[in-house]
């Protein structure tokens, strides 16, 4: 009997939400509501990301400035850290592999756009310092439903109008996943150029978010290992709901 990878990934999502609840049940006075959720997501990411990276939170500093605090800061284990104590990291831009903004919920389009702009500004700080396009960006929202897809994609368009930089992935609740494709033609999109697709992936959206981060860091061989990280039968493209071409601010239904 073959392994059931889809059930495995649903259990990863369940584990994430279980850890979040376990933490909240034990400690009820976190400085912010989102902090316990950041801890839960960092815990799950550490179990699956390769040893070539370190997962924490913290700040990125350049010659002239420092970033705002990054909820989840993923850095190369081969690079030195200016400061490291527990989860707290302070690093230079060359060490940064990925940044994730974590939210409990986002309901309004301006709030969503604000979080996306913040991510792009952090990525921009790294890119301006290193001259490389080498930082993965993701927005992770714990609570959400499928009805937010249009609003999220609209916020993606609003943020892109401001920054001209794409955020790679968004996970919203257990089911909604959004991914940026630099070439829509590669995934049979109605849009041939740069495009974001939204998908309804029941119970596995957080796991697909993690899988895309793993793929960015490790370049997963799709022919020999893609089935383990992206397990939707027939591929996720059959589950897409809307798309947003780069430069537009209103999503289009498939």
Distance of alpha carbon 23 from alpha carbon 17, whole angstroms:
10
User: Residue 80 burial (CB < 10 Å; 0-12/13-18/19+)?
Assistant: exposed
Which pLDDT does position 28 carry in this prediction?
72
Residue 24: the pLDDT is 82
| 146-189 residue pLDDT tens | 789 999 999 999 999 999 999 999 999 999 999 999 999 988 88
pLDDT of residue 33: 64
Nearest to 109 by CA among 45, 154, 59: 154
CA distance linking residue 169 with residue 248, whole number of Å: 17
pLDDT digits (tens, 9 = 90+) for 40-87: 999 999 999 999 999 999 999 999 999 999 999 999 999 999 999 999
Whether residue 144 contacts residue 178, with contact meaning beta carbons closer than 8 Å, is answered with: no
Are 193 and 149 a contacting pair, CB within 8 Å? no
Cβ contacts of 183 within 8 Å, gap of 6 or more = 192, 193, 194
Residue-wise pLDDT for 196-240, tens only, equals 999 999 999 999 999 999 999 998 888 788 888 887 755 667 889
């Amino acid at each position: 009997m073959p392994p059931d990878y889809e059930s495995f990934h649903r259990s990863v999502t369940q584990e994430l939400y279980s850890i979040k609840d376990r933490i909240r049940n034990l400690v009820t006075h976190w400085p912010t509501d989102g902090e316990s959720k950041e801890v839960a997501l960092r815990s799950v990411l550490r179990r699956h990301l390769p040893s070539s990276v370190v997962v924490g939170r913290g700040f990125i500093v350049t010659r002239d400035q420092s970033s705002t605090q990054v909820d989840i800061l993923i850095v190369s284990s081969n690079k030195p850290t200016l400061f490291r104590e527990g989860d707290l990291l302070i690093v230079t831009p060359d060490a940064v592999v990925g940044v994730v903004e974590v939210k409990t919920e986002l309901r309004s389009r301006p709030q969503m756009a604000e979080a996306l702009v913040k991510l792009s500004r952090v990525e921009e700080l790294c890119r301006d310092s290193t001259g490389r396009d080498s930082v993965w960006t993701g927005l992770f929202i714990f609570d959400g439903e499928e009805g937010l897809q249009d609003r999220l994609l609209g916020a993606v368009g609003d943020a892109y109008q401001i920054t001209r930089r794409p955020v790679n992935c968004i996970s919203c609740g257990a089911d909604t996943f959004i991914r940026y494709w630099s070439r829509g033609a590669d995934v049979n999109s109605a849009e041939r150029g740069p495009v974001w697709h939204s998908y309804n992936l029941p119970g596995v959206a957080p796991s697909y978010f993690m899988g895309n981060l793993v793929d960015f860091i490790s370049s997963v061989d799709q022919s020999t290992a893609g089935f383990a990280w992206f397990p939707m039968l027939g591929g996720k493209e059959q589950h897409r709901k809307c798309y947003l071409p780069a430069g537009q601010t209103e999503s289009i239904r498939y």
